[in-house]
Amino acid sequence: MNPIQMVDLKGQYEKIKAEIDEAVINCVASTAYINGAQVKAFQENLENYLQVKNVIPCANGTDALQIPMMAFGLEKGDEVIVPSFTFIATAEVVALLGLTPVMVEIDANTFNVTAEIIEQAITPRTRAIVPVHLFGQSCDMGAIMQVAEKHNLFVIEDNAQAIGADYTFQNGETKKAGTIGHIGTTSFFPSKNLGCYGDGGAIFTDDDKLAEKMRMIANHGQSERYYHSVIGVNSRLDTIQAAILDIKLKHLDEYAAARQKAAAFYDDAFQNIEELQTPVRERNSTHVFHQYTLQVKSGMRPRLQKHLKEGGVPSMIYYPIPLYRQKAFKEFVAPGFRLPVTEKLCDSVLSLPIHTEMTEDLLDYISNRVRVFFNHQ
């Protein structure tokens, strides 16, 4: 057996190799490395897939968060509510722009922020909120948008981990995660559900005016070459990456189905292990399983992780430290500030390998290794 990996990018590539190789060689031969036709084609195909008016490709998922925050015209000291349990990028861009990240608790079961948690953190200085659709399922966006409208707040959905997930509103209408707030963002980091072969990202919005402004910001603040109306950044998706993403986009739903199948297998294998909690589903969202994350009963995680490693099974802790305990954010956090749910999750979560190429044999092997540890053979 080959070494087990958290994500099998090679196996996935092998299946689409002929198409990818041809597309990459065409890009190289065309010499249109920046803003080639493939970028526009991918943008349009993604707009179509997401059913959103504007997709703005950019250099990575962090820029995809920063550019909208620059476009909103926020001022120093304005507060932006972010979850405490996420990848640092979500809060990093807030601090980078001189804004104040306000880190809030998450739901103990779904790992996502809720409308209630957000509403409790709103102050007269709150201007924006960034719900993160963690591990592959959408936050309850219907309820979050109601709170945002009531308090007149911008909403940026950080959809780096849940592209392709469907959110269903109370009236039965369904929308893709990332297309419900004023802005949605994603990352095309290689291991993401829609990943390229380098860095990439995108911003989504139905608001044409905001889209125009963000396109300008992403392009050095210019809409006409060498005429710069605002301070911007240089953030582009390379032509080669767009060509690769356009091929992978056609497989995205099938990739999600493969991840869901693997998750169902794990759920089944672990259902009677009382020291483990398997991933709890959001009521109104499908789950595209960017991660399959267990909660391990207190104190057992290090031993379980060691036991898995000895059997050749990798596992990861997403995330070991709450954002508010990161040194980088110390100026934003009062001494002794603690969020108990976040603390508990940082001490108990464990993510198992999940990707598009998992066979029954592999799932069997990994889950047996877990079951043996808990004496459930």
Give the H or E element holding residue 111. none
Choose, by CB under 6 A, the member of 112, 187, 285, 286 that binds ligand PLP: 187
Structure tokens at 253: 């739903």
Choose, by CB under 6 A, the member of 39, 91, 132, 243 that binds ligand PLP: 132
Closest contact distance (angstroms) between CB of 154 and ligand PLP is 17
Q: Mind giving me the DSSP string for 124-160?
A: TTEEEE--B-GGGB---HHHHHHHHHHHT-EEEEE-T
Choose, by CB under 6 A, the member of 87, 135, 197, 292 that binds ligand PLP: 87
- 201 part of the interface to ligand PLP, by CB under 6 A: yes
- 135 part of the interface to ligand PLP, by CB under 6 A: no
Return the number of the residue (311 or 314) whose C-beta is nearest ligand PLP. Answer: 314
Return the number of the residue (136 or 369) whose C-beta is nearest ligand PLP. Answer: 136
Q: Which of 306, 314, 326 is nearest to 87 (CA)?
A: 326
Nearest-angstrom CA–CA distance, 93 and 356: 31
Q: What is the largest CA-CA distance in the chain?
A: 68
Closest contact distance (angstroms) between CB of 45 and ligand PLP is 20
Per CB under 6 A, the segment of 154-162, 165-173, 324-332, 337-345 that binds ligand PLP is 154-162
- 90 part of the interface to ligand PLP, by CB under 6 A: yes
Closest contact distance (angstroms) between CB of 96 and ligand PLP is 13
- The site that binds ligand PLP (CB under 6 A) totals a number of residues, namely 15
User: Phi and psi of 367, rounded to 5°?
Assistant: -70, -30
- 189 part of the interface to ligand PLP, by CB under 6 A: yes
Per CB under 6 A, the segment of 75-83, 157-165, 304-312, 353-361 that binds ligand PLP is 157-165
Closest contact distance (angstroms) between CB of 93 and ligand PLP is 9
Please report, as residue ranges, which positions from 10 to 39 form the binding site for ligand PLP (by CB under 6 A): none
Helices (H) and strands (E) in the chain, counts: 12, 14
Per CB under 6 A, the segment of 29-37, 70-78, 156-164, 240-248 that binds ligand PLP is 156-164
Return the number of the residue (105 or 199) whose C-beta is nearest ligand PLP. Answer: 199
First to last CA, the chain: 22
Return the number of the residue (72 or 85) whose C-beta is nearest ligand PLP. Answer: 85
Half-sphere CA count of 92, side-chain side, radius 13 A: 12
Return the residue nearest ligand PLP (CB atom). Answer: 61
Residues 363, 266 contacting (CB under 8 angstroms)? yes
Nearest-angstrom CA–CA distance, 8 and 230: 42
Q: Which of 368, 193, 181 is nearest to 268 (CA)?
A: 368
- 60 part of the interface to ligand PLP, by CB under 6 A: yes
Per CB under 6 A, the segment of 68-76, 104-112, 114-122, 153-161 that binds ligand PLP is 153-161
Surface-to-core class of residue 26, CB atoms within 10 Å of its CB (0-12 exposed, 13-18 middle, 19+ buried): middle
Distance of CA 330 to the CA centre of its chain: 24
Q: What's the sign of the alpha-carbon dihedral 135, 137, 138, 143?
A: negative
Closest contact distance (angstroms) between CB of 130 and ligand PLP is 9
Q: Which residues make up the interface to ligand PLP (CB under 6 A)? A: 60-62, 86-87, 89-90, 132, 158, 160-161, 187, 189, 199, 201
